[in-house]
Amino acid sequence: MIDWSGIFHIMATPFLDDGRLDVEGIPRLVDRVLATGVRGITILGIAGEAHRLTDEERRRVVEQVVKEVAGRVPVAVGVSASGTHLAQAFARTSREHGADAVMVAPPNGSRNLDLVAEYYHAVADAARVPIVLQDEPVTTQVTMPAPFIARVVSEIAAIEAVKLEEAPTLPKITRLRALVTRPIAIFGGLGGVYFFEELSRGADGAMTGFPYPEALEAIRDRFIAGRRADARALFYRWLPLIRYESQPGAVPGTSMAIRKEILRRRGFLATAYVRPPATTLDAGTLAELDELLAAVAADTP
């Protein structure tokens, strides 16, 4: 049984400077992430540049991450795809290589929610592991209202968590909590920009690639301990970096480049390479990042 709570870090995919997959860098990245105290790892999400990986690269990432994690925390694998058969194949491969769960967003551009529901049923049948339903309309261009999500959750027992990323996330958390008829975990995303308020609305944690996951864990620890003011103060301390790093509208361009640059500086990645088409950080952005890190992240929580 997966403990769906706390921070599930969405892992970046490491590359070498020539753009090849940095397979040898995966163990270091996994160990650095786990050292921050996260409760789980999610791979091959949007922030993992999954859409820029070959099928063989996807397989190698899953295989290497599961091997390195070695059961220390759950590993969820993004298997979203434009077609049902492709998502099913990704899900089977993930299960066969030891994934604990899969994360599934609707097919891009789908307008018929009945077909979206059929897609989730089909992927669940193929996956045969717990599912995280990802609600991310900016990328998918699919809006799933809370009643629809509650319906799919009621129909598919394998769905154990929902990742809500339709801003504003806060009223949707409240609506979904009121509609679901069984226990379900709810995670925020969006780089953590609404994390404190999401906790206040009943979120169980966050799934995000924010490059200081220990900061988000510390905020949640204070919150669940009843130290609301301390949690809020710590969130406000980190919010300037969360805001700057997320760069709304730029994913996976500027936002991904900034995130990988921070991870490189922290020693999580050997390079900050983002596969093209991608934004190169200019001197002004790097200077702003220097100033922000000095002000916000000089010491971890």
Question: Do residues 85 and 53 lie in contact, with contact meaning Cβ atoms separated by under 8 Å?
Answer: no
The pTM (predicted TM-score) of the whole model is 0.95
User: Per-residue pLDDT tens for 140-165?
Assistant: 999 999 999 999 999 999 999 999 99
Look up the CATH number of domain 6-296. Answer: 3.20.20.70
Q: Rounded to whole angstroms, how far apart are CA atoms 107 and 3?
A: 27
How far, rounded to the nearest angstrom, does the alpha carbon of residue 63 sit from its chain's CA centroid? 19
Q: Residue 252 pLDDT more than 70?
A: no
List 163's β-bridge partners, or say none: 134, 187
User: By percentage, how much of the chain surpasses pLDDT 70?
Assistant: 98
**Mean pLDDT of all residues in 106-129:** 97
Query: Could you tell me the two tokens for 157?
Result: 């027992």
- pLDDT tens track for 23-82: 999 999 999 999 999 999 999 998 899 999 999 999 999 999 999 999 999 999 999 999
Nearest to 49 by CA among 290, 266, 263: 263
> Where do the structural domains in the chain lie, given as residue ranges?
6-296
